[in-house]
A and B are shown apart, each in its own frame.
Chain A
Amino acid sequence: MADEDILSDDLLRQLMSVGEADILVGIHTHNNAKTIGQLVQIVREGLLKYFPRERVAILNVDGGSQDGTTDLVRAAAISDVRDATPFYALRTLHCISTKYNDVPSAGRAMHIVVAAADLLRAKACAIVAPESSEIQPDWMNRLLRPIYREHFDFVAPVYGRQRFDGMLVTNLMYPMIRAVYGKPIREPRPGEFGFSDRLVSELIGHELWTQDAGRIGPEVCFTVSALADDARIFQTFLGPKGHVDHQPADLVAALRQTVAPLFWSMDSTYASWNAINVVQTLPSDGPEYEVGMDPVHVDLTRLHQMFASGVVDLQDVLKSILSTSTLAQLQSVAALDETNFQYSDELWVKVVYEFAASYHRSVINRDHIVQALAPLYRGRAYAFLTENLNASKDDLAEHIEALCRTFERLKPYLLECWTAQEGGS
């Protein structure tokens, strides 16, 4: 889709009145009245404090809010931050708000931000999640400084999490991306991140915007594009992840937003990852990993039951996706009761790799492949929870590290599945 189709006339007019900008901050909203006013104020405060001499613009892209979100953005934009803080801008801080005529979509909103950044020739951009309840003014510095002053291309956040929050990230996304692309990105689906003008020019015409994966999970596609383009990546610690309550409660929706974009990106960037067999370290500031040890409330029996019944009920679907030996092992695990349950790292990694290869080959409808992973993830989550329920922070970190090493050790198996199936098609 061309720039002129992405940017509405009204937005174009507003962007032209801005002219050029050094820094652009994009905020995608959809009924975020509860948090957006304060969030815009904090973003402005951070920009005034850390980038007083730069030409800065905030772009709010709204997906048709009905709760007055855009009014709150406008109000926050004209309210005088200077009264509350000792920081003064030496240039005008523009705050633009626009709506797009489409169903709310993170991908659509992000595409608008990227197109606007391209038009404004912004050197550094940041995306901020509208529900970031823990946001601090210095996040602007942490996300934008490495790009604007140190010439990195992509700044990925690291959040402090409770020990079992984000198990899909710790048990699949992080270790798989680390093994496949050779870079340990802790948060492959970041709520907040920064990117450079070089990455904007790479992504402006990218096919991801026209694909379901890009529409539903643009953050993952964005991250993987940065990895595949060999961009200079920096990780920055932002503090506690403040929007856990707003994450999808539905596991299938979560898989569609993360695993589907990852598999899709792997498919389109095969040439850039197939030869990687070394994991690099990434420059970073702050701790690379931080977990809280709050007590956990979860119905383990239900998790186990949903895994066991899922494997039985989806047997025919899994036959199309998994190899005979992996399916047989899964069925053996599903037949175990809770006391004897063992779902090894190796089996989990083989399952994930075979799913990725089957997605690549489209053995059945791709969305069905992603949905079929849900019960198998529940089994993995059950195993991870029971093994680590009484583990210390260090033990937990070591277990995740061991899983990462298994993903890395079995990467040849992924390549084997990938190429063997290609040969067979």
Chain B
Amino acid sequence: MGDMIVSELGQAWSEFARALAHLLPRLLTVLIIAIVGWVIAYVIKIALRSVLRLVKFDHLSERAGASQLLNTAALPSPSELLSQLVFWIVWLSIGLAGVSFLGISVLQHDIATILSFLPRLLVALVIAFLGMLVANFFARAALLAAVNSDLPSPHVLSDVVKVLIVVLTISMAFEELGLAERTILIAFSIVFGALMLGLAIAFGVGGRDLARQFLERRFSDDRARRKPEDHLSPL
């Protein structure tokens, strides 16, 4: 009995040792791949950051209002953020590819799924970032136009423009990710429809006078719609 136990333990140990001996080189390979991946990702990050600085990406983002957005969220500059993002995506991709080298069949399927998801995640993030820039730009344009046209509540108009573009951007980003496509689409349709209906009712019923004034100003003769300020030409 004792001999049998010793024999089984010995066999188990030798199998474990054989498996370990079989796995260790692979683990080492994964570790090397991870280190090489880190170096590659780091080099790409540095190169990308230099290119972005060369093309004055931060300056462009500042003009578009993205920098203010990132500052508010206590995030680094746009070029730093983008290069960090690319670094992590590249390193994660290489690392996961290395893990699949271990030959664990359960992991391989999940890793393949994650790897196929990463490019879509990157595209979704780019869509979200660009969407925020566009939203900021048009919100500011709407605010300036409303202030200079002396419209009431210019911030409301600006915020509506921003919310619409942000909602559209989020729905596009989620669609790219393939997450809750229908839910997002339906939610967007409901929000958009409700907003338009609300605006139509508010403008048509609540703001009849405003609507009349707007239409008068829009379609009446240019001279007739000049306000007293305009009797003095600035030029």
When the two chains form the complex, which single residue of A248, A298, A309, A371 contacts B144, counting CB atoms closer than 8 Å? A371
Would you give the 0/1 interface string for A182-226, flagging 1 where the beta carbon is closer than 8 Å to chain B? Answer: 000000010000000000000000000000000000000000000
The residue in B155, B226, B233 that gathers the most chain A C-beta atoms within 10 A of its C-beta is B233
Chain-A contact segment, one of B30-38, B44-52, B116-124, B135-143: B135-143
B148 at the interface (CB under 8 A from A): yes
Question: In the complex, are the beta carbons of B154 and A165 less than 8 A apart?
Answer: no
In the assembled complex, the Cα of A129 lies from the Cα of B119 at a distance in Å of: 58
Question: In the complex, are the beta carbons of B65 and A189 less than 8 A apart?
Answer: no
Would you give the 0/1 interface string for B153-173, flagging 1 where the beta carbon is closer than 8 Å to chain A? Answer: 011000000000000000000
When the two chains form the complex, which single residue of A302, A362, A425 contacts B228, counting CB atoms closer than 8 Å? A302
**Separation in Å of the A179 CB from the closest CB of chain B?**
20
Closest residue of chain B to A311, judged by CB?
B147
B2 at the interface (CB under 8 A from A): no
Question: In the complex, are the beta carbons of A298 and B137 less than 8 A apart?
Answer: no
- Size of B's binding interface in residues, CB under 8 A: 29
In the assembled complex, the Cα of A252 lies from the Cα of B235 at a distance in Å of: 12
In the assembled complex, the Cα of A362 lies from the Cα of B63 at a distance in Å of: 7
Question: In the complex, are the beta carbons of B148 and A375 less than 8 A apart?
Answer: yes
The residue in B62, B144, B154, B231 that gathers the most chain A C-beta atoms within 10 A of its C-beta is B144
When the two chains form the complex, which single residue of B137, B141, B234 contacts A167, counting CB atoms closer than 8 Å? B234
In the assembled complex, the Cα of A297 lies from the Cα of B233 at a distance in Å of: 12
Which residues in window 255-299 of A have CB below 8 A to B? 255, 257-258, 296-299
Given A364-B140, A368-B141, A372-B144: A313 in contact with B232 (beta carbons within 8 A) = no
A365 at the interface (CB under 8 A from B): yes
Closest residue of chain B to A255, judged by CB?
B234
Contact partners of A257 in chain B: CB under 8 A:
235
**Separation in Å of the A264 CB from the closest CB of chain B?**
15
Question: In the complex, are the beta carbons of A317 and B235 less than 8 A apart?
Answer: no
Closest residue of chain B to A252, judged by CB?
B148
Contact partners of A164 in chain B: CB under 8 A:
232
Contact partners of B147 in chain A: CB under 8 A:
309-310, 313-314, 374-375
**Separation in Å of the A380 CB from the closest CB of chain B?**
11
Which residues in window 377-395 of A have CB below 8 A to B? 377-378, 381
Which residues in window 82-141 of A have CB below 8 A to B? none
**Separation in Å of the B234 CB from the closest CB of chain A?**
4
A331 at the interface (CB under 8 A from B): no
A410 at the interface (CB under 8 A from B): no
Given A317-B140, A363-B62, A364-B63: A298 in contact with B234 (beta carbons within 8 A) = no
In the assembled complex, the Cα of A409 lies from the Cα of B234 at a distance in Å of: 25
Q: Interface of A with B (CB < 8 Å)?
A: 164-169, 189, 244, 247-249, 251-252, 254-255, 257-258, 296-299, 302-303, 306, 309-310, 313-314, 317, 320, 362-365, 368, 371-372, 374-375, 377-378, 381, 425
Q: Interface of B with A (CB < 8 Å)?
A: 59, 62-65, 68, 137, 140-141, 143-148, 150, 154-155, 222, 226-235
